[in-house]
Structure 1
């Protein structure tokens, strides 16, 4: 039997999400309806669904409309990406699973950027691979050390996994840093998997910045894979559409073969919504709305941290929808699980405890998802401030 560790963050969300009055643990940009999506389109007469289409399995690797729109997004000025280099999946979680399932097994070694979403390192372990975590630290802005990456490489290393922008910290691996990763991978003939599910919600770094991070797919190294989805940046988690893209045809074909064992195809209806959202008539308005929402809400979160700076500290995120915030009492970190449970019971505000869901070393940390609807963030943070003033003394301290 495969040893499966508890998927802590998903178990936590499963336990509390439907009970929360103020969900500030949600990592998606505020979800929208199909009607709201249509209102964002420049062509409001264009139908989202092709209702005359027979509901067969559809295109096995993903609809042409969806993959064409994705290919356009990933195509560099000098090098187009073929539709054939993209495969759709039921969400990014399945995309990441398939990459590990296809590429690693017993005897292989994987290096994973950390902290991050648990499945990125736990699934390779379940498949029998040896996994080393490449630690990012707050004192370095949650950016890991390139020298440490070099030291982690072994003769059997096969895969480097990064998450950019990062969950839970909101940190960004910038362009020159990504180039360092590619140079190391190229030297050792390694595959690099970049989970880019929070791209392109760049709220605090400007695209004209020379260090602005491109998709890893655009940096010239063939043995790269990127994954993404409609859930986070595109506010459409309910359609369960993700994807895998690589310029290495051999990798794509191997993943396609493995995919037959897990996924015949993605729902035609879901893919039609995704294709509509990613169409040139819609995508710019959709992303502009979500990036502005992130900026507006981040200002609220920044004010919250400043107001409570005797109990709260953070590294301000540069991108994505999450922040990793540390709560303490007179310098001693709180027990984040006790803090989050009491907060939920007293106020209805949902946070995610860092030590429970991202690693025992993250004492006092909670993950905050700040790109839900602004009124939820504002009201919820006000409740947290009241809780800190009245209840923090009752919260256990971390061991």
Structure 2
């Protein structure tokens, strides 16, 4: 029987988010309603559900509507050597299903997988549960959460099948810069290794310009036939509630294998959800929606930065460059705090919700003292939450236990 570890971050969210007064743990850009989405459109006379009121609610187009897959294919075909065919995209129930299907399809006993770390637990726990041997390729906080390419080369084995990336990265908000991406692909190409990049936090690049030489393109645009990406409507597009994600690859056989595996799960995505996603990603809507979310992230990360700078006695960070999350380290007299106790006390006493790093991103072995903060919530929620955190740090922080040093 397959044994899989508890999904710590999702269990934490499930346990606490319904009772949080200030949810500063949520990783989605502040959600929008159908009405708000329509108001963002350059054609507000049209609606996301136009034409659906009289449509029979069958399974619909099993792999996702032609409209949605074509829209996504066009987005992935910008600045690429050749256009991506719509048939090279599979629509799924969120990126979480996309990731699972891909890992289920590609990895198993006898395979070796290299996974960018820290990252979303699914990306390494699922291949482990399927019998693959997983090596963590650890980014370095002291170097701005950068990856060492020499370490990647040293990790590769004869049976390495897959390199897993997360760009922009959850929880740190770091990016893998363009030059590094290019080199990863060349390393993978030399050994015919698949490169899979979870790009759900793309494209809210709030702290780096598209003109910057480090600005990363989608991994799918690098001209590598074994490149695979996943994405969703949740983080960048404020529509987590419609549960729409996708897998896209230059390798059509990967899409076919994932589609075959999905026959055993959800079969298809709701026609209603597909229609809303198609409307949001259409040229008449996507630019306004992304502008809203990038401006929100840029404004809110500045608010968070100001808070951290004024509380350096308690917390520190590497400022995120993209996405919606920050990984903030709290300490007392140079020692990391017990981040689990901190998050529990903070929510119980103030209603402010964070995610403890050692539990949800390190399995208790790494990242003591770190918390993940989701800063792309409504600005008022962030401001009020930080005000409560300020009071907690002034009045109750001394009660938070510090981690004891491990014996040498």
TM range (shorter): over 0.9
So what's the TM-score if we normalise by structure 1? 0.99
Residue 364, structure 1, aligned to residue 369, structure 2 = yes
Q: 1:211 aligns with which of 207, 210, 214?
A: 214
Residue 321, structure 1, aligned to residue 314, structure 2 = no
Please give the alpha-carbon distance, in whole angstroms, between the structure 2 residues aligned to 1:202 and 1:301: 16
Q: 2:248 aligns with which of 242, 245, 255?
A: 245
1:129-168 aligned within 5 A:
129-168=132-171
SS at 2:265 equivalent: coil
Measured against aligned partners, the alpha-carbon deviations of 1:200-232 in whole angstroms (never above 9, x if no partner) come to 010000001122100000011110000000000
Aligned to 2:6: 6
Shift of 1:117: 0.3
Residue 123, structure 1, aligned to residue 129, structure 2 = no
Shift of 1:258: 1.6
* Unaligned runs of at least 5 residues, structure 1: none
Residue 374, structure 1, aligned to residue 376, structure 2 = no
Aligned to 1:100: 103
Aligned to 1:109: 112
Please give the alpha-carbon distance, in whole angstroms, between the structure 2 residues aligned to 1:237 and 1:158: 31
Residue 389, structure 1, aligned to residue 398, structure 2 = no
1:5-84 aligned within 5 A:
5-49=5-49, 50-77=52-79, 78-84=81-87
Please give the alpha-carbon distance, in whole angstroms, between the structure 2 residues aligned to 1:47 and 1:291: 23
Shift of 1:257: 1.6
Please give the alpha-carbon distance, in whole angstroms, between the structure 2 residues aligned to 1:36 and 1:369: 22
Please give the alpha-carbon distance, in whole angstroms, between the structure 2 residues aligned to 1:250 and 1:272: 26
Shift of 1:75: 0.4
Please give the alpha-carbon distance, in whole angstroms, between the structure 2 residues aligned to 1:283 and 1:293: 15
Please give the alpha-carbon distance, in whole angstroms, between the structure 2 residues aligned to 1:129 and 1:195: 19
Aligned to 1:296: 299
SS at 2:90 equivalent: strand
Aligned to 1:333: 336
Q: 2:284 aligns with which of 281, 287, 290?
A: 281
So what's the TM-score if we normalise by structure 2? 0.97
Measured against aligned partners, the alpha-carbon deviations of 1:134-181 in whole angstroms (never above 9, x if no partner) come to 001210111121111111111111000000000000000010000110
SS at 1:117 equivalent: coil
Please give the alpha-carbon distance, in whole angstroms, between the structure 1 residues aligned to 2:217 and 2:265: 31
Q: 1:398 aligns with which of 392, 395, 403?
A: 403
SS at 1:111 equivalent: strand
SS at 1:43 equivalent: coil
Q: Which deviates further from its counterpart, 251-260 or 21-30? A: 251-260
Measured against aligned partners, the alpha-carbon deviations of 1:234-259 in whole angstroms (never above 9, x if no partner) come to 00000000000001112222222222
> RMSD over aligned Cα, in angstroms?
0.8
* Unaligned runs of at least 5 residues, structure 2: none
Please give the alpha-carbon distance, in whole angstroms, between the structure 2 residues aligned to 1:321 and 1:349: 17
Please give the alpha-carbon distance, in whole angstroms, between the structure 2 residues aligned to 1:292 and 1:68: 27
Q: 1:220 aligns with which of 219, 223, 244?
A: 223
Measured against aligned partners, the alpha-carbon deviations of 1:240-294 in whole angstroms (never above 9, x if no partner) come to 0000000111222222222212221001100000000000000000000000000
1:193-208 aligned within 5 A:
193-208=196-211
Residue 191, structure 1, aligned to residue 209, structure 2 = no
SS at 1:59 equivalent: coil
Please give the alpha-carbon distance, in whole angstroms, between the structure 1 residues aligned to 2:34 and 2:196: 31
1:346-357 aligned within 5 A:
346-357=349-360
Please give the alpha-carbon distance, in whole angstroms, between the structure 2 residues aligned to 1:177 and 1:263: 36
Shift of 1:47: 2.3
